[in-house]
Amino acid sequence: MSGDTSIYAAQGFGGQLGMGRAPALLIVDFVQGFADPGVFGGGNIPQAIAATVDLLAFARQQGLPIVHTRVVYADDGSDGNAFTRKVPGLLRLTEHDPASQIVKALSPRTDELIVRKRLPSAFAQTGLAAWLAMRRVDTVIVAGCTTSGCVRASVVDAMGAGMRVVVAADCVGDRAPEPHEANLFDMAQKYADVVGSGDVRGMLAALV
């Protein structure tokens, strides 16, 4: 262990949360605009989407509650906020804009929840926490983008809502490797278990 990580271990960070008995899968913002480097995408996001296809299929087989998120603003931008002041281009993500549509490879089924959000976290000003609580979910498995933005914000808020969090490391992506790796490391130290999607499937299979 390097000096950079040994201080975390010495201070008690990096513990394991483990998988509870009632997990759900949360797929954050895998929409066409974030899959396209010419809009809001880039980096390893396409690879993360590809890895999530298999994870989603397995979660469906296991009967998990499944949630997809989209960033959606009003057509006239009247619900813009501090997030859109910082990144004005986000206002183009309206209900019917192609960039706001979930990628076809991960198209939701009719029994899966679609959360429309206007802030980074899937929990901020949405009904997601209540929806999960009604289903007695105790663990949120997270895929999506971006690792340093909406994924991280959702992970922190899921923990704040009292749930264990498991990040599928190969199923989250960012525009550049540096913020991706740094945020995976930080989430693993403080907020979540960060493991590969193969390990996630193994953990889910062990619950049956």
Span 21-71+98-205 CATH architecture: 3-Layer(aba) Sandwich (3.40)
% of residues, the chain, pLDDT over 70 = 98
**Any idea where the domains of the chain sit in the sequence?**
21-71+98-205
Q: Which of helix, strand or coil describes residue 98?
A: helix
**Closest Cα to residue 163, out of 65, 12, 20?**
20
**Closest Cα to residue 206, out of 166, 159, 176, 156?**
166
Q: Residue 136 above 70 pLDDT?
A: yes
The backbone torsions φ and ψ at residue 115, rounded to the nearest 5 degrees and listed phi first, read -100, 125
Query: What token pair was written down for 152?
Result: 């991280």
- Cβ partners under 8 Å of residue 47, min gap 6: 170, 173
Residue 4 confidence class, pLDDT cut points 50, 70, 90: confident
The one catalytic residue in 28, 122, 145, 150 is: 150
Is 150 designated active site?
Answer: yes
Q: Residue 149 above 90 pLDDT?
A: yes
